[in-house]
A and B are shown apart, each in its own frame.
Chain A
Amino acid sequence: MTPMKRTKIVADPVEPTILITRWFDAPPNLVFEAASRPELIKRWWGIRAQQMIVCEVDHRVGGRWRFVLRSPDGREDGFRGVYKEIVPNLRLIQTCIYEPFPDLEAIETVNFIADNGGTRLEVFVRHTTMQGRDAHLGAAFEEMHTRLAELLVTLDDTARSSDRADARA
């Protein structure tokens, strides 16, 4: 049976790590190629509504990479890092910084594992602190305020029902 093409994401509750796993119906050498060549990376990295306007890839150990995604509202998000280890068709290790948080550097280990005639891609992200990880998870890919606005609508009802607790405090 062909494995499900479902993305599995595990954010560890105690360690500042995230593990992303997904199966692809193509051999490791092709998945590695798609993750290494800028003209291919810019066709898939990011959601459809975003356009990759910068895709710089110096694909060698010590080489730098930088991606910039532009959203329909004109917002631009930059990501950059350095390649630390490159084992063709098997593994990439790179640092990653989301540019609004230049002090929060994560290390990403990407494994390309032959599995059921295809490839299981594993992206293991390690941050130095939980705060760093959370900023990456929570703020990197969307407009914080939209989400907060949605939450506040929900909380408005809760706030009303728990005003009793406020009065006691």
Chain B
Amino acid sequence: MNKSTARLDATFSALADPTRRAILARLTAGEASVTELAKPFDLSQPAISKHLKVLERAGLISRGRDAQRRPCRIEGPALGEVTRWLERYREFWDESFDRLDDVLAELKGKQGK
């Protein structure tokens, strides 16, 4: 297995976990320390650290050099992916609501008669 394929495997399994996807979603709002991440997720710091290691290995996040805090930030391609989840969710509602416009126009027409 070449290095690139190994990296892709790491990315694939990193993203397969909902907690890690949620951590990425949180990091789209700005960088955060382990303590700051642990709180809203209701997970222990070691549990969060474990997820962060997986994300870091997959190249989805990077950690700051500040030895105390080591803030995590999302890396470019991962940010794009998180945005894309929202886009697909938006597509679902956009299209549903466009169809609802048609149903409502019909209901209004019936009511007007």
Binding site for B on A (CB under 8 A): 5, 7, 9, 11, 13-16, 20, 22, 24-26, 30-31, 33-34, 40, 43-48, 121, 129-135, 137-142, 147-148, 150-152, 154-156, 158-160, 162-163, 165-166, 169
Contacts and interface: CB of A to CB of B under 8 A. Distances in A.
Nearest to B75: A158
Interface residues of B, number: 49
Contact of B81 (A131, A139, A140, A151): A151
Contact of A30 (B8, B22, B81, B107): B107
Given A135-B18, A151-B11, A160-B4, 13 more contacts: A9-B89, A9-B93, A13-B25, A34-B107, A44-B99, A131-B19, A137-B25, A137-B89, A156-B8, A158-B75, A158-B77, A159-B3, A159-B4
13 contacts: A13-B26, A20-B93, A25-B105, A26-B104, A43-B103, A47-B95, A130-B19, A151-B80, A155-B77, A158-B75, A158-B76, A159-B59, A160-B4
Contacts of B100: 24, 31, 34, 44
